[in-house]
Amino acid sequence: MTALPSRSSVAPPPSYSQQISPDPQPDRYVSFVGIACDARAQHLVDGLRAAAATAAADPFWDYFADKLAGRRGPQHDALYHIHSHLNDLRELAARWERADLADLVEALEVDCC
């Protein structure tokens, strides 16, 4: 009769995070673990608010700021609103001549939306 290996000689199973994302590079199609989408969305919102403080009045920005604050329609997180208005936000960044904000919108779309 063959003896079973002792518990100490059996390797533990891979952790859940290793099972869903074995690559060091996060993949949104597998999991959002490690991508920090909410923090990145907030970073974009902070950048938009800073740009709005020095830019000319913009009707879309006023509408979008109200949506973020929950004053217009149901209240959702920033990532939800960004995802819902990707093209509008690209155009806003272009009107404000803020390539850095356009890049953040693009990165959020690719990585998180």
Q: What is the pLDDT of residue 73?
A: 80
Is position 69 within any domain?
yes
Q: Is residue 62 part of a domain?
A: yes
9 DSSP assignment: G
Mean pLDDT of 21-48: 76
The answer to whether residue 6 is domain-embedded is: no
Contacts of residue 63, defined as CB under 8 A and 6 or more positions apart, other chains included, come to 72
Q: Is the residue at 13 inside a domain? A: no
49 Cβ neighbours under 8 A, 6+ residues apart: 65
Residue 83, in any domain of the structure: yes
What integer pLDDT is reported at residue 43 of this predicted model? 95
Q: Is residue 7 part of a domain?
A: no
For residues 42 and 1, the answer to whether their CB atoms sit within 8 Å is: no
> Model confidence over 64-80: pLDDT tens digits?
999 999 898 888 899 99
Task: Quote the domain boundaries for residue 107.
Answer: 36-112
pLDDT at 17 over 80: no
108 assigned to some structural domain: yes
- Please indicate, yes or no, if residue 30 is contained in any of the structural domains: no
pTM value is: 0.69
